[in-house]
C-alpha cells in the first residue's frame, strides 16, 4: 500500500518539524545562553568597598563590561556570553587599596558565577593578580544549562516515533 505509507511518512515529517519548531521556539522565550558574574568586594579586614570599578573582559573576544559596586559592596555583571573572563577591581582613589585581578573566570550557559574579592592594603597603582579559577560548582542557584547542537536536535525527531515494544503491531514504512 503505497498511499498509506506515503501519508505516514508525511505525517512523521510534519510532526517532527512541528515538534522541533515548538521545542526550539519555547526555550528562546524561557531561557538564555547568557551567564553572569556577581559578588562582593571587601577590603582585607572584611569591610565593604563602595564604588569600586569592576571591569569584566572576555578573554576570547576582548569584549569589556564595566559596573560599579553598590552601597553594600555588591556587583552584578549580567548577560555574559559563555567563555573565560578576567575580572579587574579598581578601588576608589580615596582608599589606600590595591587593585585586584582575577583571571580564568569561567562563565557557562545560564550560570551565575559567585566571585567575592578582597582588596589588599597597599600603594595606589599596585595590583594583586589571582590566576586560579573559581570553583566550577554552582552554589547560587539550582539552574543547569547545556547547549544542544542542531545535529542533536535533528536526531530527536526520529526517536520520538521509535518503539521498544517487540510485540507492537505498528508496521514500519521506512
107-154 pLDDT per residue, tens:
999 999 999 999 998 765 555 555 555 555 555 555 555 666 666 666
Of the chain, the percentage scoring pLDDT greater than 70 comes to 61
Q: Which three cell numbers stand for residue 147?
A: 547547549
Beta carbons within 10 angstroms of residue 13's beta carbon: 11
As a 3-state breakdown, the chain gives helix, strand, coil percent values, each rounded to 5, of 25, 35, 45
Sorting pLDDT into bands at 50, 70 and 90, what band is 8?
confident
Amino acid at each position: 500500500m503505497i498511499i498509506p505509507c506515503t501519508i505516514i511518512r508525511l505525517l512523521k515529517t510534519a510532526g517532527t518539524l512541528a515538534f522541533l519548531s515548538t521545542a526550539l521556539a519555547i526555550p528562546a522565550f524561557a531561557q538564555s545562553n547568557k551567564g553572569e558574574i556577581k559578588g562582593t568586594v571587601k577590603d582585607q579586614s572584611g569591610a565593604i568597598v563602595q564604588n569600586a570599578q569592576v571591569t569584566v573582559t572576555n578573554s576570547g573576544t576582548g569584549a569589556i563590561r564595566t559596573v560599579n559596586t553598590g552601597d553594600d559592596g555588591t556587583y552584578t555583571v549580567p548577560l555574559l556570553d559563555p567563555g573565560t573572563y578576567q575580572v579587574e577591581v579598581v578601588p576608589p582613589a580615596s582608599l589606600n587599596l590595591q587593585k585586584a585581578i582575577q583571571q580564568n573566570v569561567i562563565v557557562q550557559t545560564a550560570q551565575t558565577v559567585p566571585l567575592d574579592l578582597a582588596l589588599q592594603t597597599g600603594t595606589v597603582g599596585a595590583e594583586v593578580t589571582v590566576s586560579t579559577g573559581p570553583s566550577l560548582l554552582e552554589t547560587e542557584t539550582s539552574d543547569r544549562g547545556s547547549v544542544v547542537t542542531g545535529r542533536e536536535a535533528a536526531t530527536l525527531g526520529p526517536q520520538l516515533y521509535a518503539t521498544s515494544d517487540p510485540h507492537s503491531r505498528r508496521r514500519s514504512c521506512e
